[in-house]
Amino acid sequence: MSAPKKILHVIDSLDLGGAQTFLLELVKHLDRKRYLPEVASMHGQGVYARAFEQAGIKTHSLSPSKIPPFYLPNFWRLMRRENYDILHFHLLGSNLCAKPLAIAAGHPAIIVHDQCNDASRDANPLLLAADAFWNRQSSRVIAVSESVRRYLIDREDLPEARIEMIPNGINAEMFFPAADQQKDDARHRLGLPLGAYIVGGVGRLVVQKNFTAFLEVARQVLVSHPDTIFVIAGTGPQDANLRGKVSSLGINESVRFLGHVEARTALYHAVDALLMTSDFEGTPMTLLEAMASCLPVVASRVDGIAEVCTHLRDALLVSPSDVTGYARALETVIGDPETGMRLGKTARETVLKKYDIRDLTRRIESVYEGVLCD
């Protein structure tokens, strides 16, 4: 048998995010007899650095911070020194900064992982043009949803034959419905009340996730369900603004900020429902994890979410930014436990059928094989 092919995954950072969560599961499930993965973070360490190391994945931090951009010469030296068989790029920063260096070096196997229809590209024509230009020089682009695939074709003019649509996936064995004692234990760990109905919001505290709408929904729901607790698990640049929003809405006693929660299984065990108010998404890992945990989901009817979920079957979907619509859907779940249980059960079935990380890893390995044979 030939030696395993060396793969370098390049990502903006190892901080909290769905792309990082997916990458961790991907490298853990690659066939190590055929592929030897390493990960390069363009700047800093981040909360996921230890998880990659615990999984036995060699990691490289290319720069302590974004500025100055030491990651550019350090990536060039790493790429030339180690002679990787495949370079696999994740997130916009690595695509725009590191990938051009790989193309300039004439690397024959360059793969891009496009996680969502990032609004920053449409807002900046130069950014869109640059992303499209470098994507056209790549061997393959993996789109995590059909909407992302259509974006690459329609807005970036990429040839369809160069794009593979492979959604994100999770290890469903890690996420499962909680027994009563598991729920109590999880709430004890997070300092949450045992008897309350708890609504969770999980993700990076960034504009895209629209946690401002999440808090406005909380204010409406608390009028009819005053004992409900809303928790936000995540970190990010919107943290201070969101805490200020909680105070201005007068709902301080009913909202908890949990920060980064490393024990993700326990996090979903601690809550009764997931509320996602995102403005756009690819295939959100939070959604898949909550569905696998049998939680009822109320979410925005946007691109990647609507491709995963069917309204009334395995989630309640609402038009983006429709605060009253979110509130009414959430009140339905809170007031009708049988509906919540039905949605959760069907949601887990959807994940097991379509979003298991093992099956999706095999599909990505097929992309690797095709690129190496080109």
Q: What pLDDT, in 10s, does the model give residues 164-173?
A: 999 999 999 9
Among candidates 49, 34, 47, 39, which has minimal Cα distance to 87?
39
pLDDT, averaged across the chain: 95
Kindly provide the b/e burial profile for residues 14-37, where b requires at least 16 CB atoms within 10 angstroms of the residue's own CB.
Answer: bbbbbbbbbbbbbbbbbeeeebbb
pLDDT tier at 337, thresholds 50, 70, 90 = very high
Is 127 exposed, middle or buried, given 0-12, 13-18 or 19+ CB atoms closer than 10 A? middle
pLDDT tier at 133, thresholds 50, 70, 90 = very high
Among candidates 91, 43, 18, 93, which has minimal Cα distance to 290?
18
Predicted pLDDT of residue 219: 98
C-alpha radius of gyration, the chain, whole number: 21
CB atoms within 10 A of CB 54: 10
Q: Which one has a higher pLDDT value, 196 or 374?
A: 196
Residue 340: is its pLDDT beyond 70? yes
Longest Cα–Cα distance of the chain, Å, equals: 65
CB atoms within 10 A of CB 40: 25
Least reliable range by pLDDT among 119-123, 243-247, 326-330: 119-123
How far apart (Å, rounded) are the C-alpha atoms in residues 224 and 218? Answer: 10
| pLDDT, mean of residues 243-262 | 97
Among candidates 125, 133, 82, 75, which has minimal Cα distance to 102?
75
- The HSE-up count of residue 167 (CA atoms within 13 Å, CB side) is 24
pLDDT tens digit sequence for 208-236: 999 999 999 999 999 999 999 999 999 99
Query: What 3-state DSSP class applies to 38?
Result: strand
pLDDT tier at 118, thresholds 50, 70, 90 = low
Domains defined along the chain, listed by start: 5-169+356-373 (3.40.50.2000), 180-354 (3.40.50.2000)
